[in-house]
Amino acid sequence: AQTVTQSQPEMSVQEAETVTLSCTYDTSESNYYLFWYKQPPSRQMILVIRQEAYKQQNATENRFSVNFQKAAKSFSLKISDSQLGDTAMYFCAFMIPDSGNTPLVFGKGTRLSVIA
Amino acid sequence: DADVTQTPRNRITKTGKRIMLECSQTKGHDRMYWYRQDPGLGLQLIYYSFDVKDINKGEISDGYSVSRQAQAKFSLSLESAIPNQTALYFCATSARQGNTQYFGPGTRLTVL
């Protein structure tokens, strides 16, 4: 079974600074997708970024980027120039395309607080 | 208008009551999912449907049932609610050829 581990239950960062959230996963598959979702206090689940395992280039979306280390099964999220609106729970998630079993497996989340 | 909507947004009910949570989407996606979120546990999959005639159990389906009334509608039922079903419930959708799931705003359910 696939598992996703987020080892940092809580983190904080000063506004305008950079922070990195960690995620590791366990799978024997070679083709898969990885995601970071953000859940602000409004509780909406918002897609932040997505990475396909077959792509060597790390995904980026504006201030958000990932460090995907396939051999180490690591998928960390870097937030640059942190803003107060980045305060949220962040979930790492894993999917095997068309697995027909458990389509998306989530980690337990990291609560990020951005401090003014 | 939101692409994925859930009703109700909040619900308080009593033990033993039957309750239905509804999800509708305008994204035209074939695949729909129901997740449950408990504090400190992330999201866990309850049921999913890859098309109108396809229903599959997730990792925590006991005590729940679903109905896919149409491509755009997927409802979750608790036949006899119990207090440990108090949680935040999310509906999500994805395209047949896509793998990104898009979530509704969630329903906070409290069972007394």
Three-state secondary structure along A14-65?
A: ECCCCEEECCEEECCCCCCEEEEEEECCCCCCEEEEEEECCCCCCCEECCEE
Mean pLDDT for the stretch of residues B44-49? 93
Are A44 and B106 a contacting pair at CB < 8 A?
yes
Backbone angles phi, psi at A31, to 5 degrees: -110, 115
Mean pLDDT for the stretch of residues B7-29? 96
Are B56 and A100 a contacting pair at CB < 8 A?
yes
Query: Which of A97, A103, A108 lies nearest to residue B42, judging by beta carbons?
Result: A108
Is B10 at the interface with chain A, CB within 8 A?
Answer: no
Confidence (pLDDT) at A82: 98
Confidence (pLDDT) at A67: 97
Confidence (pLDDT) at A115: 97
Question: Rounded to whole angstroms, how far apart are CA atoms B109 and B97?
Answer: 32
Q: Quote the mean pLDDT of chain A.
A: 92
Give me the residue label for tokens 């051999």: A71
Which residues on A lie below 8 Å from B59 (Cβ)?
102
The helix/strand/coil state of B44 is strand
Question: Rounded to whole angstroms, how far apart are CA atoms A19 and A79?
Answer: 5
Are B101 and A50 a contacting pair at CB < 8 A?
no
Is B47 at the interface with chain A, CB within 8 A?
Answer: no
Contact B1, B101 (CB under 8 A): no
Contact B101, B27 (CB under 8 A): no
Cβ contacts of A72-76, under 8 Å, gap ≥ 24: A72/A24, A73/A24, A73/A25, A73/A26, A73/A27, A74/A22, A74/A23, A74/A24, A75/A23, A75/A24, A75/A25, A75/A34, A75/A36, A75/A51, A76/A20, A76/A21, A76/A22, A76/A23
Residues 43-62 of A with CB under 8 A from B: 43-47, 50
Is B48 at the interface with chain A, CB within 8 A?
Answer: yes
Is B97 at the interface with chain A, CB within 8 A?
Answer: no
Beta strands B107-111 and B43-51, pairing class: unpaired
Is B55 at the interface with chain A, CB within 8 A?
Answer: no
Burial of B110: CB neighbours in 10 Å, binned 0-12, 13-18, 19+: middle
Confidence (pLDDT) at B98: 63
**pLDDT grade for B97, boundaries at 50, 70 and 90:** low
Q: Answer whether residue A50 shows pLDDT above 90.
A: yes
